[in-house]
Amino acid sequence: MPVLDAAEPLPRRPRRVLVAGASGSGKTTLAARVGVLLGAPHVEIDGLYHGPSWTRRAEFEDDVHRFSAGPSWVTEWQYDSVRAHLADRADLLIWLDLPRTTVMRQVVRRTLLRRLRRQQLWNGNVEPPLRTILTDPDHIVRWAWNTHGRTAGRVEELSARRGDLPIVRLRRRAEIDQWLQGPLAVSA
């Protein structure tokens, strides 16, 4: 199946949806919006992964297998240990292929706001002090910069493996709204 753009109709109403993209691209925000439009639960995969003190929860993979066995869901396509499993269960992949400048603006803004507000994320975690961007090679801002291009290769591999899986590629914020109000709304 060819990669679809923001204007092309979906072949069928999706029930199990993955949202792919770089860290900070807006995967979680879009997944929540898609879930509302489809009446499908949005499972925020970061909430399943991160335990206290940013540790990986032992139950993570079991939790992913449990929700993905359900008839409908929307989640983010991340974490190597479950990425293939989720891709095998999905019937739509949305690829947020936004420019690096857009992603970096979003991830920096989000990180700053979360830190300044001391916003609690998953299991009591908060963004680390801003100075850690200079010392932590896995700081989310550095991670977003260094891994920005990885999604394209993953999507290409998935497309080759699952030729039946519709993939919608959205390259700008305006395309996201166009797709939500157009092809997705029509299918829902």
Each residue's pLDDT tens digit, 65-121 = 999 999 999 999 999 999 999 999 999 999 999 999 999 999 999 999 999 998 899
- Strands of the sheet containing 16-21, edge to edge, are 3-4, 167-170, 92-96, 16-21, 73-76, 42-43
CATH number, position 81 = 3.40.50.300
Containing domain of residue 29, as a range? 3-187
Residue (of 72, 37, 74) closest to 186 by Cα position:
37
Average pLDDT for residues 144-157, to the nearest whole number?
Answer: 95
pLDDT band at 187 (very low <50, low <70, confident <90, very high): confident
* C-alpha span between 58 and 44 (Å, rounded): 17
**Ordered DSSP codes for 15-56:** SEEEEEE-TTSSHHHHHHHHHHHHT--EE-HHHHHB-GGGPB
Give the three-state DSSP class for 116: helix
pLDDT value for 114:
92
Model's pTM, two decimal places?
0.94
Each residue's pLDDT tens digit, 14-68 = 999 999 999 999 999 999 999 999 999 999 999 999 999 999 999 999 999 999 9
User: What type of residue sits at position 87?
Assistant: A
pLDDT value for 86:
98
Query: In the structure encoding, which two tokens stand for residue 135, read together?
Result: 């010392």
pLDDT band at 2 (very low <50, low <70, confident <90, very high): confident
Query: In the structure encoding, which two tokens stand for residue 93, read together?
Result: 């992949």
Total number of domains constituting the chain: 1
* C-alpha span between 140 and 123 (Å, rounded): 18
52, 133 contact by CB (below 8 A) = no
Each residue's pLDDT tens digit, 124-134 = 999 888 889 88
Residue (of 158, 167, 28) closest to 84 by Cα position:
158
